[in-house]
Amino acid sequence: MVVFSVPAEVTVILLDIEGTTTPIAFVKVRENVKEYLQTHWEEEECQQDVNLLRKQAEEDAHVDGAIPIPAASGNGVDELQQIIQAVVDNVCWQMSLDRKTTALKQLQGHMWRAAFTAGHMKAEFFEDVVPAVRKWREDGMKVYIYSSGSVEAQKLLFGHSTEGNILELFDGHFDTKIGHKVESESYKKIANSIGCSTNNILFLTDITLEASAAEEAGVHVAVVVRPGNAGLTDDEKTSYSLITSFSELYLPSSA
Ligand SMILES: CSCCC(=O)C(=O)COP(=O)(O)O
Ligand SMILES: [Mg+2]
């Protein structure tokens, strides 16, 4: 069943990850935070992640419900466990608000790297995703990723999936180094970096604020509705083209 006819000028499909290719619950990896911190606490990289989270917590001090992360005073095991618990609570609080802070994404990226490389975890995609991407490529489309997750984390995800290493299906990756996903300038920079016009791009995302920023830049958009995603208002439902599966896209070039 076709619900979105892709305009003929589109040559690039730009994909969001969380809520679009991959279930939100998979990205959050909430259950493993404490165990990860306890195992990696002494490592330089983990300490850098905690320091960044502490700095973010200081910036968030005025935000309702924010969880502070105390600094260590060297007061033994009990204090260490209290700090670890504060980090866990802070991370869970950020995840509950689906925040995209560098501090949170950096820790998540490192947790993923540990889990993927140890073979403890494989990335999951909605079942229509990989067949559709293969088909789009056969039809001559270029396919890129634009996610709040770092490019390093994106490559881990697509490199260690239930479908194997599928990195070759993508022509490139963008993260918030190019700009935030809710800012229209980011989409102009992406078009520039790919070497196309913004109207050659179709962006698929679950977040209407991102869709709106992309549209403002002249990018075509469809909002992806998946199980587990945040609900849309009636207004959002009428303002955007909605799809529930990539198979609902019709490419004129595939006719
Ligand atoms: C490798 S991607 C990590 C996903 C992530 O942490 C995230 O917040 C994704 O958000 P988006 O919806 O921008 O893909
Ligand atoms: Mg998303």
Bigger pLDDT: 148 vs 172:
172
Bigger pLDDT: 49 vs 79:
49
153 lines ligand 1 (CB under 6 A): yes
Site to substitute for ligand 1 among 122, 147, 176, most atoms within 8 A of C-beta: 147
How many whole angstroms from its chain centre is CA 66? 22
pLDDT at residue 119 greater than cutoff 90 = no
Q: Is 135 annotated as a binding residue?
A: no
Instruction: Look up residue 181 and give its amino acid.
Output: K
- The stretch 39-51 carries a mean pLDDT of 96
CA distances from 4 to 178, 188, 252 (A): 28, 23, 11
Q: Is 206 annotated as a binding residue?
A: yes
- ipTM > 0.85 (yes/no): yes
22 lines ligand 1 (CB under 6 A): no
219 lines ligand 1 (CB under 6 A): no
pLDDT of 30 reads: 66
pLDDT of 204 reads: 98
Distance CA 169, CA 48 (A): 33
16 lines ligand 1 (CB under 6 A): yes
> Bridge-partner residues for 201, per DSSP?
12
pLDDT at residue 111 greater than cutoff 80 = yes
pLDDT at residue 27 greater than cutoff 70 = no
pLDDT in tens, 162-214: 999 999 999 999 999 999 999 999 999 999 999 999 999 999 999 999 999 99
Q: Is 18 annotated as a binding residue?
A: yes
pLDDT of 29 reads: 63
Bigger pLDDT: 98 vs 36:
36
Instruction: Answer for the pair 32, 115: CB distance below 8 angstroms, yes or no.
Output: yes
CA distances from 41 to 33, 46, 89 (A): 11, 6, 16
pLDDT band (50, 70, 90) for residue 15: very high
Give residues with Cβ within 8 angstroms of 120, minimum separation 6. Answer: 114
DSSP-assigned letters across all residues of the chain: ---EEPPTT--EEEE--BTTTB-HHHHH-GGGHHHHHHHHTTSHHHHHHHHHHHHHHHHTTTSTT----PPP-S-HHHHHHHHHHHHHHHHHHHHHTT---HHHHHHHHHHHHHHHHTTS--B---TTHHHHHHHHHHTT-EEEEE-SS-HHHHHHHHHSBTTB--GGG-SEEE-GGG--TT-HHHHHHHHHHHTS-GGGEEEEES-HHHHHHHHHTT-EEEEE--TTSPP--HHHHHHS-EESSGGGEE-GGG-
Q: Is the dihedral of CA 134, 137, 141, 145 positive or negative?
A: positive
Q: What are phi and psi for residue 142, nearest 5 degrees?
A: -95, 145
pLDDT of 109 reads: 87
The mean predicted confidence, pLDDT, of the chain is 92
pLDDT band (50, 70, 90) for residue 56: very high
pLDDT of 153 reads: 87
How many whole angstroms from its chain centre is CA 234? 25
pLDDT in tens, 65-109: 999 999 988 777 788 899 999 999 999 999 888 888 889 988 988
Name the CA radius of gyration of the chain, rounded. Answer: 20
pLDDT at residue 1 greater than cutoff 70 = no
pLDDT at residue 160 greater than cutoff 80 = yes
